[in-house]
């Protein structure tokens, strides 16, 4: 088990799915975690209660709202006076296709890019400004395999948002490595969470055929990868995107 004692981590969307697994894994390794939630305050408070108030706190922010990401980061810093690691995990994957009306298409694209990209960029910006004052810090962005192989026609906006996150991650690595600010992305294939549940149910056989390992990714494996990156044990890997997909790359 990695030792993350002393690290303060903000996990966006930290109360469900991959985010919940990440909050629990990081605190089990000794970190203190700010469990951010979008709308489900009850879930976040239950997790904080499980972990213990010494080691976790809950903060709500609706990341569809412009400026909410920056405000969230500043509130997170206020809890312990610092944040050492930011995990940008919150994300949405609504469906829309070229066959839908233009206004529906535009609204869905804008909302997806706001939550999956703009809020991530705003959080990264605040983190960089904060990390500068502390001579370093670590950013970990949850992207997706869709960033590289694209997605279904009703999820092109999702793939585009995640591709942008990979480019953002690498740009930050290039721009701020000299200030000891490290930036990584994690790109899972299908992960067994609420976001993917309906699709996984409907396409179980096809998905299993597509994955050489035979099964989708458990959220705990994404969390373990985040814990490794948060440890700072692989500093020179900055800019990298780590794949977790049971060898279903293309």
Query: Active-site residues: which are they?
Result: 158
E strand segments, 66-180? 85-88, 137-142
Binding residues with ligand NAD: total (CB under 6 A):
26
The minimum distance between CB 196 and ligand NAD, in angstroms, equals: 4
Q: What is the DSSP secondary-structure string of 37-77?
A: ESS-HHHHHHHHHHH-TTTEEEEE--TTSTTHHHHHHHHHH
> In this structure, what are the phi and psi dihedrals at residue 116, rounded to the nearest 5 degrees?
-85, -20
Query: Which of 23, 25, 57, 89 touches ligand NAD by CB under 6 A?
Result: 89
Nearer Cβ to ligand NAD, position 194 or 206? 194
User: Which tokens in the block code for residue 165?
Assistant: 């996150």
Nearer Cβ to ligand NAD, position 238 or 248? 248
CA atoms within 13 A on the CB side of 201: 5
User: Which tokens in the block code for residue 203?
Assistant: 């396409």
Residue 16 within binding range of ligand NAD, rule CB under 6 A:
yes
Tell me which DSSP letter residue 191 carries: B
Report whether 84 contacts 137 (CB < 8 A): yes
Report whether 140 contacts 85 (CB < 8 A): yes
Nearer Cβ to ligand NAD, position 89 or 238? 89
Query: Which of 112, 193, 225, 248 touches ligand NAD by CB under 6 A?
Result: 193
Residue 13 within binding range of ligand NAD, rule CB under 6 A:
yes
Residue listed under structure tokens 């999820």: 155
Nearer Cβ to ligand NAD, position 13 or 246? 13
Report whether 6 contacts 55 (CB < 8 A): no
Stretch that binds ligand NAD, among 17-25, 101-109, 169-177, 227-235 (CB under 6 A): 17-25
Distance CA 139, CA 85 (A): 6
Helix axes 156-176, 119-133, angle to 10 degrees: 20
Stretch that binds ligand NAD, among 99-107, 168-176, 186-194, 206-214 (CB under 6 A): 186-194
Query: Which of 27, 38, 164, 242 touches ligand NAD by CB under 6 A?
Result: 38
Report whether 76 contacts 10 (CB < 8 A): yes
Stretch that binds ligand NAD, among 77-85, 86-94, 96-104, 202-210 (CB under 6 A): 86-94
Query: Which of 8, 58, 76, 90 touches ligand NAD by CB under 6 A?
Result: 90
Residues 43-72 that bind ligand NAD (CB under 6 A): 62-64
Query: Which of 8, 34, 77, 115 touches ligand NAD by CB under 6 A?
Result: 115
Binding site residues, ligand NAD, CB under 6 A:
13, 15-19, 37-38, 62-64, 89-93, 115, 142, 144, 188, 190-191, 193-196
């Amino acid at each position: 088990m990695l030792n993350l004692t002393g690290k303060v981590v903000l996990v966006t969307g930290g109360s469900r799915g991959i985010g919940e697994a990440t909050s629990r894994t990081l605190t089990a390794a000794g970190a203190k975690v700010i469990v951010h939630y979008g709308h489900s305050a009850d879930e976040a408070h239950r997790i904080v209660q499980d972990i213990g108030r010494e080691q976790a706190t809950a903060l709500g922010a609706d990341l569809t709202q412009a400026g909410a990401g920056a405000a969230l980061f500043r509130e997170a810093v206020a809890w312990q006076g610092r944040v050492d690691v930011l995990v940008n995990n919150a994300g949405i994957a609504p469906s829309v296709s070229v066959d839908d009306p233009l206004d529906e298409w535009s609204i869905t694209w804008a909302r997806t890019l706001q939550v999956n990209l703009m809020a991530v960029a705003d959080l990264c910006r605040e983190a960089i400004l904060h990390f500068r004052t502390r001579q370093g810090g670590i950013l970990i962005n949850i992207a997706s395999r869709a960033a590289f192989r694209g997605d279904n026609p009703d999820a092109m906006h999702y793939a585009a948002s995640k591709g942008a996150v990979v480019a953002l991650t690498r740009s930050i690595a290039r721009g701020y490595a000299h200030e000891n600010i490290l930036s990584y992305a994690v790109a899972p294939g299908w992960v067994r969470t609420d976001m993917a549940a309906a699709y996984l149910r409907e396409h179980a056989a096809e998905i299993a055929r597509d994955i050489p390992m035979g099964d989708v990714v458990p959220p705990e494996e994404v969390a373990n990868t985040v814990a490794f990156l948060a440890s700072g044990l692989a500093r020179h890997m900055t800019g990298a995107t780590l794949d977790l997909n049971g060898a279903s790359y293309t």
